[in-house]
Homo-oligomer: A and B are copies of this chain.
Amino acid sequence: MTPEAIRQILEAVRQGKQDTDAAMEQLKDLPFSEMGFAKIDNHRQLRTGYPEVVFCAGKTLDQSEQIIRLMYAKNNNILATRASEELYLRIKALFPEAEYHAAARAVVIRRQAIPQAKSYISIVTAGTADIPVAEEAAVTAELFGNRVERIFDVGVAGIHRLYSRLELIRGGRVIIAVAGMEGALPGVIGGLVDKPVIAVPTSVGYGANFSGLSALLTMLNSCAAGISVVNIDNGFGAGYMASLINRTE
């Protein structure tokens, strides 16, 4: 709510065009609008097709279902992450258009057309076992209106695989690089391209990888510039961050 809007309400009151109660009702939401909380939400609703998101881990099946029902009632696209197949079957029974991305463990319900960004996002993995995290990022990015190029299993232990796909990787407006174990892939890519790289450590590995800590530290300490890092296994976070970067303003 801009200062002009506030002034108009006050003028309307002064001129008797609006009574006190109605004005109060409008001003009641003032702090939120002024601070932009609702703005974000409205913003998202206005960009038709942008999804609402529910993070299902740590929620009961009932809780997740209930939230999805509420979202569905608002006619929005919906993205449910960390969703079990069991949850999917429940949702499918309710809303037959629900899709399940098994590798990404994501349920998607598309109810509106999604406006598309012009540039694409490259999503790269070091190994086969990193694919589920990459798929979570990909499904997220796609539902937020981005084209995604998947380049999987090009880790630095056989770096020629990476080079053979380098043009495609470099073509993206932003690159998501997913790696477990040593986690060196984002740093190597960061040295080869001049696009922002979002690094996603995965918990893939064993022994002194300490559930992804090794990859996380590698990525944070990368000598190459142009890299920032999200939480271990956080495909959704990477996909969303990349969407914000790729957004055509």
| Number of chain A residues whose Cβ lies closer than 8 Å to a Cβ of chain B | 104
**Would you give the shortest CB distance from A35 to chain B, in whole angstroms?**
5
B212 to A208, Cβ gap below 8 A? yes
Could you tell me the distance between the alpha carbons of A11 and B23 in the complex, rounded to whole angstroms?
10
A198 contacts partner chain B, Cβ-Cβ < 8 Å = yes
Which residues in B have their C-beta under 8 angstroms from that of A215?
A: 221
Q: Within A185-200, which residues are at the interface with B (CB < 8 Å)?
A: 187-188, 190-196, 198-199
Which residues in B have their C-beta under 8 angstroms from that of A119?
A: 249
Which residues in B have their C-beta under 8 angstroms from that of A74?
A: none
A20 to B24, Cβ gap below 8 A? no
Q: Within A13-30, which residues are at the interface with B (CB < 8 Å)?
A: 13-14, 16, 19-20, 23-24, 27-28, 30
Which residues in B have their C-beta under 8 angstroms from that of A236?
A: 225
A129 to B58, Cβ gap below 8 A? yes
Which residues in B have their C-beta under 8 angstroms from that of A158?
A: 37, 191
